[in-house]
Structure 1
Amino acid sequence: MQQHFYIADSEAVADAHELLTHYGENARSEAAARASRSRDVGNIVHFCRWRQIARLVEWMDSEDIDATLH
């Protein structure tokens, strides 16, 4: 199953890379935790951003990428 998601900007890719470098296999959990904290304080913009980054981290860390990269 192919997954589609939106990448807002190159900074999101850099943040995903930084999380993977720093947290390794726990990078997605860290991004999800940041999204939760943003939601808890009512910051919907950062909530959405960190949710997108969590999906991007999962995709970047995947062994079987089945998509066109642009």
Structure 2
Amino acid sequence: MPFVTDREQFAAAARLMRDYGAEAGLEAAARADHSRDQGNHIHFCRWRQIERLIVLLSMPCAVGTVH
């Protein structure tokens, strides 16, 4: 399960899914790689978590505990 620190991560995932469709996860991975190459480990981790969140949001069924 991805670790979501704030609402902005959901918003970023939703924007990527809207703008890139099925390629949203690849775009998040590319942004993570770019951040890593720039030496920005904080943004690298953020984009990796957003990538995982996109995968989770793309699933057709609920994952984990449902209340």
TM-score w.r.t. structure 1 length? 0.88
Q: Does 1:17 align with 2:9?
A: no
> Residues 1-70 of structure 1: matches in 2 within 5 Å?
4-68=1-65
How many equivalent residue pairs?
A: 67
Q: Which runs of 5+ in 1 are unaligned?
A: none
Provide the alpha-carbon RMSD of the alignment.
1.4
Q: Return 5+ residue gaps in structure 2 as ranges.
A: none
Using the alignment, how far apart are the partners of 2:46 and 2:25 within structure 1? 13
> How big is the shift at 1:66?
2.1
TM-score normalized with structure 2 length: 0.92
Displaced runs of 4 or more, over 6 A? none
Report sequence identity in percent. 46
